[in-house]
Protein backbone atom coordinates (compact mmCIF):
# COMPACT_ATOMS: atom_id res chain seq x y z
CA UNK A 1 0.00 0.00 0.00
CA UNK A 2 1.04 3.59 0.04
CA UNK A 3 0.72 6.95 1.69
CA UNK A 4 -1.39 8.35 -1.14
CA UNK A 5 -4.68 9.68 0.33
CA UNK A 6 -6.61 8.44 -2.73
CA UNK A 7 -5.23 4.91 -2.31
CA UNK A 8 -5.81 4.81 1.46
CA UNK A 9 -9.16 6.59 1.60
CA UNK A 10 -10.71 7.72 4.87
CA UNK A 11 -8.06 5.98 6.97
CA UNK A 12 -5.52 8.53 5.77
CA UNK A 13 -7.19 11.23 7.88
CA UNK A 14 -8.80 9.12 10.62
CA UNK A 15 -7.56 9.55 14.17
CA UNK A 16 -7.99 5.80 14.78
CA UNK A 17 -5.84 4.69 11.86
CA UNK A 18 -2.30 3.47 12.43
CA UNK A 19 0.28 3.34 9.67
CA UNK A 20 2.58 0.33 9.85
CA UNK A 21 5.68 -0.09 7.69
CA UNK A 22 7.46 -3.45 7.55
CA UNK A 23 11.23 -3.94 7.41
CA UNK A 24 10.83 -4.64 3.69
CA UNK A 25 9.12 -1.31 3.08
CA UNK A 26 5.51 -2.49 2.73
CA UNK A 27 2.97 -0.09 4.26
CA UNK A 28 -0.25 -1.25 5.92
CA UNK A 29 -3.01 0.73 7.59
CA UNK A 30 -4.51 -0.70 10.78
CA UNK A 31 -7.78 0.36 12.38
CA UNK A 32 -7.34 1.22 16.06
CA UNK A 33 -11.06 0.82 16.67
CA UNK A 34 -10.78 -2.89 15.87
CA UNK A 35 -8.94 -3.40 19.16
CA UNK A 36 -12.10 -2.70 21.18
CA UNK A 37 -14.96 -3.06 18.72
CA UNK A 38 -15.58 -6.25 16.69
CA UNK A 39 -17.52 -4.29 14.05
CA UNK A 40 -14.23 -3.01 12.66
CA UNK A 41 -11.64 -4.93 10.64
CA UNK A 42 -8.06 -4.70 11.90
CA UNK A 43 -6.62 -4.26 8.38
CA UNK A 44 -9.48 -2.98 6.19
CA UNK A 45 -9.32 -3.31 2.42
CA UNK A 46 -8.23 -0.01 0.97
CA UNK A 47 -9.35 2.48 -0.08
CA UNK A 48 -11.93 2.89 2.67
CA UNK A 49 -14.72 5.04 1.25
CA UNK A 50 -17.25 4.78 4.10
CA UNK A 51 -16.78 3.97 7.78
CA UNK A 52 -19.12 4.50 10.75
CA UNK A 53 -16.11 4.92 13.04
CA UNK A 54 -14.33 7.61 11.02
CA UNK A 55 -13.19 10.60 13.06
CA UNK A 56 -10.98 13.18 11.40
CA UNK A 57 -7.94 13.82 13.51
CA UNK A 58 -4.21 14.38 13.55
CA UNK A 59 -1.80 11.66 12.50
CA UNK A 60 1.29 12.01 14.64
CA UNK A 61 4.52 10.06 15.21
CA UNK A 62 3.38 8.24 18.35
CA UNK A 63 0.43 6.75 16.44
CA UNK A 64 2.66 5.18 13.79
CA UNK A 65 3.92 1.68 14.39
Q: What is the DSSP string of 1-65?
A: --S-HHHHBGGGGBTTEEEEE-TTS-EEEEEGGGGT-TTS-SSPPSSB---TT--B----GGG--
Judge whether 24 lies within some domain.
yes
Residue 62 within a domain: no
For residue 64, give the nearest of 23, 17, 26, 25 by alpha carbon.
Answer: 17
Q: Cβ atoms within 10 A of the Cβ of 16, count?
A: 19
Number of independent structural domains in the chain: 1
Q: Could you tell me if residue 59 is inside a domain?
A: no
pTM equals 0.81
**Bigger pLDDT: 4 vs 14:** 14
- Whether 34 is covered by a domain: the verdict is yes
**Residue 26 forms part of a structural domain:** yes
Q: Note the pLDDT tens digit of each residue in 6-60.
A: 999 999 999 999 999 999 999 999 999 999 999 999 999 999 999 999 999 986 4
- What pLDDT, on a 0 to 100 scale, did the predictor assign at position 62? 41
* Domain extent for 25: 5-53
Amino acid sequence: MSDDPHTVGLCFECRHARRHETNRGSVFWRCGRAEDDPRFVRYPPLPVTACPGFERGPRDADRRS
